[in-house]
Amino acid sequence: METGAEPVIYRSPLPAVAVPERTVPEHVLERARHNDKVALVDAVTGESLTYAELARQVQTTAEGLVRNGIRPGDTVAIASLNRPAFAVGLHAVMAAGATAALINPMLTPPEIARLEELANVTATLDLDDLPAGDGDSLPPGNPRSTAVVLFSSGTTGLTKAVRLSHRALVANLEQHRPGWRIDETDVLAANLPFFHVYGFTIILNSGLLGGATLVTMPRSDAGTYLNRLAEHKITRAFLVPPLAAAIADHEGPVPELRLKLVLCGAAPLDDAVRQEAERRLGAPVRQGYGLTEAGGTHQTFDDDVESDPTSVGVLCPGTEARVVEPGTTTDAAQGEMLVRGPQVMDGYLGDDEATREAFVDGWLRTGDLVRVHNGRFHVVDRIKEMIKYKGLPGGAGRTGGRAAPPPRRPGRRGDRCGRSS
C-alpha cells in the first residue's frame, strides 16, 4: 500500500508474473498434444477426453469452423451445460480466430435471443454436431482480439456483454496460478457452469492449464454431490453459498473425501456456514471474489498458508486497488473497491456509455464495499445489489421490458456451424 498526498493504492504482495503474448488455446493447451492423461470426464455419462484427444478435436473443429466460413471478427454462440465437448467447442472457436459468446442454455428462447443480439452473434455451435476440417489453415492468433463475450449486470443491474481479450484471460490465468498451484495430481469438481466466469476461468481453464482432470457433473442435492466427490477422488471443489449451506445442513453420512481445498464464490458466505461446511468436507473452505469484468478474479491466496478464512485473500500479482467513498475518488477505510490490471475487460460490447460509467480515471468500479486488514480484503456489501436470475449474476434481462427479437444472421453456410455435408 502507498500512502501520503497521493491516492492510497494497494498492491499485491506476490511477485509479478509475466503475461505471454499468446491466445487462450495456445496457452491453455500448449502441453496437451501428446498427453494421454484424462482431461475431462462426465460424472453421469462417462464421456471423457484425454489431453491429446482434446487438442486434436480442438484443431479439427477449428478447421471445420473455418471451412464453414467462420472468420476473425465473427462471434459464435455456445449454449450448453458442462460436458467435455464444451471445452472442445470453446477452444475451437477461439482457435479459429472468432469470439465465443457463452450463454446459459436454461434461459428461455427470447432471453437467449436477447443475449445473442447483445453479443452480435453471427453463428451458433452445436456441440452434438461439431464441424470437422481436414488440414484447413487457421488464422494466426491475435492475443489482443476478443476471445469471449460473457454476460454481466455490472453495477447497474442491466445485462451487458463483457468483452474479454485473449491477453486479459491469459493474464488472469497466470496471476492466480502461483497461489492456487493446480497441477497434474489434482481432480477438479466441474459442477459450476462454464458459461459463467467462475466456471470458465477459475475451473475450466485454470484446471486445463494446470494439467488436472476435470469431472463435469450436473446440479444435484448435497448427498449426491458428496458421493460424486468421493467416487471421483476430487481434490478441489468449487461451491456457491447455497451449495455450501446444503452441505452444512446435510444430515446423512459424509463419505471419505480427498479434498485439499474448497473455494466458495459468486456471493458472500456466512462464516457459520463456512465453518460447518469445512467441518463436513474435511478441508479448508476459502471465499473467492472476482468479477466478470476482471476476467475472473482480482484476488488470490496461497493454499499452503493459513490466513483469515473470512477474507477474500490478497490482490493478484500485477493488480492494484483503491478503496474510495462510493461515487467519489476520495480514499476511505471502508468503501467501494476500484481495481486495475492486465486482466480487466476491454469494455461492454456496443455500450460506450456503460463502459465509461464502469471506469473512473482508468480504474474499474467493482460496485462492492470492502475493507482491508493486513493486506487482505473483506467484502462488506454491494453498493447496488445486482439483479440475479436463476441463481447467477447477469442472467438474461427479464427486468428491462420486452425481449428482443432473434438476431439477424448472415445467410451463409457457417450459420449453424455443424458438420459440412
Q: What is the CATH number of the domain that holds 223?
A: 3.40.50.12780
- Computed over every residue of the chain, the mean pLDDT equals 87
Please count the structural domains in the chain: 1
pLDDT at residue 73 in the model: 94
CB atoms within 10 A of CB 358: 25
- What are 373-418's pLDDT values in tens digits? 888 899 988 886 433 333 344 332 222 322 233 333 333 323 444 4
Instruction: Evaluate whether residue 285 is within a structural domain.
Output: yes
Read off the pLDDT of each residue in 163-176 and give the average, rounded to a whole number. Answer: 96
The model's confidence at residue 240, banded by pLDDT at 50, 70 and 90, is: very high
Residue written as grid cell 467441518:
279
| Spatial separation of the C-alpha atoms in residues 221 and 234, rounded to whole Å | 17
**Choice among 208-222, 340-354, 374-388, 406-420 with the minimum mean pLDDT:** 406-420
Which residue type occupies 312? V
pLDDT at residue 364 in the model: 95
Q: Which of 187-196, 300-309, 321-330 has the highest mean pLDDT?
A: 187-196
The model's confidence at residue 298, banded by pLDDT at 50, 70 and 90, is: confident
Instruction: Evaluate whether residue 327 is within a structural domain.
Output: no
Instruction: Evaluate whether residue 2 is within a structural domain.
Output: no
Please give the helix or strand (H or E) that residue 244 lies within, else none: helix 241-249
Domain range holding 141?
A: 23-313
Which residue type occupies 373? H
Give phi and psi for 74, each to the nearest 5. Answer: -75, 155
Per-residue pLDDT for 20 more than 80?
yes
pLDDT at residue 266 in the model: 81
CA dihedral sign, ordered 391, 260, 297, 188: negative
Instruction: Evaluate whether residue 173 is within a structural domain.
Output: yes
Region label for 202, one of left (φ > 0), alpha (ψ between -120 and 50) or beta (otherwise): alpha
Which of 314, 324, 316, 334 has its CA nearest to residue 375? 314
> Cell digits for 109?
428462447
Q: Per DSSP, what are the bridge partners of residue 239? A: 264
Instruction: Evaluate whether residue 93 is within a structural domain.
Output: yes
pLDDT at residue 327 in the model: 85
- What are 243-252's pLDDT values in tens digits? 999 999 999 8
Instruction: Evaluate whether residue 9 is within a structural domain.
Output: no
Write down the pTM of the prediction. 0.88
Residue written as grid cell 477438479:
188
- Helix, strand, coil % over all residues of the chain, rounded to 5: 25, 25, 50
Residue 312 · residue 288 · CB < 8 Å: yes
Instruction: Evaluate whether residue 175 is within a structural domain.
Output: yes
Residue 108 · residue 65 · CB < 8 Å: no
The distance in angstroms from the start CA to the end CA of the chain is 60
Instruction: Evaluate whether residue 346 is within a structural domain.
Output: no
